[in-house]
Amino acid sequence: MKELDLLKKDWQKNTNSFEQVSEIEIYKMIHKKSSSIVKWILIISILEVLLWTCLSVCFNSDDYLIKMKHPELIQYFEVFAYFNYGVILFFIYLFYKNYITISTTASTKQLMSDILKIRKTVQYYVWYNLAMLVVSLIIGFIIAFVYNPEMSVLKDKIATNGKVMAITIGILTLTTLVFLGAFWLFYRVLYGILLRRLYANYKELKKIDL
């Protein structure tokens, strides 16, 4: 291609036409803060992990269970809580491991895939917590219905009236769906803005190698 050769010649001829940056300026630059995408993903991810860990640690159901007058439930919940801590630690380990593998000297494709892996880990963590939340809600409702004496009026109504039951289930399902939908949308927007270009470039690179 004739035009490309022309461009190449011109490109190489113009190598020295840039305004040179002095050593002092470079010194200043390396002490400035990076605003790279990895930094933003890292900040947001740490906030996410902190938020969800706080929620799951702080949200203590013991008082409620004691009120139910069924202390054996507390034991089950303790096992559940330990399991949960284990999972949190495992995720933090994965997150850290993925983060330190990020290297700007890797190939472009590898670097992209490493960044997306960090993202995935955190995403799984968020989904795990959301799932836990839904499971807890369901268990909470069941316990409320089965053990909570205050619920007996509603219980009787549901048992005799199919309409009340349908409405109750409907409201519970709807609440859960709206909740999940809001989260999904939030993540879409948040990471959509951050990762759109990276995803596009990653797809392009993968397409070349198909």
Partner 1 sequence: MSDNLEHSFVKQLQENQNIIHKICRLYTNGDDAHKDLFQEITIQLWKAFPKFRGDSKFSTWAYRVALNTAITLYRKTKRSINTIEFEGRQHFLNDVEYDYEEEEQLKLMYKAVYQLNDIEKALIFMYLEDKDYQEISETLGISEVNARVKMNRIKGKLKKILNPLGV
Residue ranges that bind partner 1, judged by CB under 8 A:
1, 3-4, 6-8, 10-18, 20-23, 26-27, 29-30, 32-38, 40, 103-112, 115, 194, 197-198, 200-201, 204-205, 208-209
CB of 202 to partner 1, least distance (A): 8
* Nearest approach, Cβ of residue 121 and partner 1 (Å): 18
Q: How far does Cα 79 stand from its chain's mean position?
A: 25
Sign of CA dihedral 38, 39, 40, 44: positive
Judged by beta carbon, residue 164 or residue 194, the one nearer partner 1 is: 194
Provide, rounded to whole angstroms, the least separation between the CB of residue 189 and partner 1: 16
* Residue bearing tokens 């001829």: 13
Q: Which is nearer to partner 1, 26 or 58 (CB)?
A: 26
If the CB atoms of residues 3 and 150 are measured against partner 1, the closer one turns out to be: 3
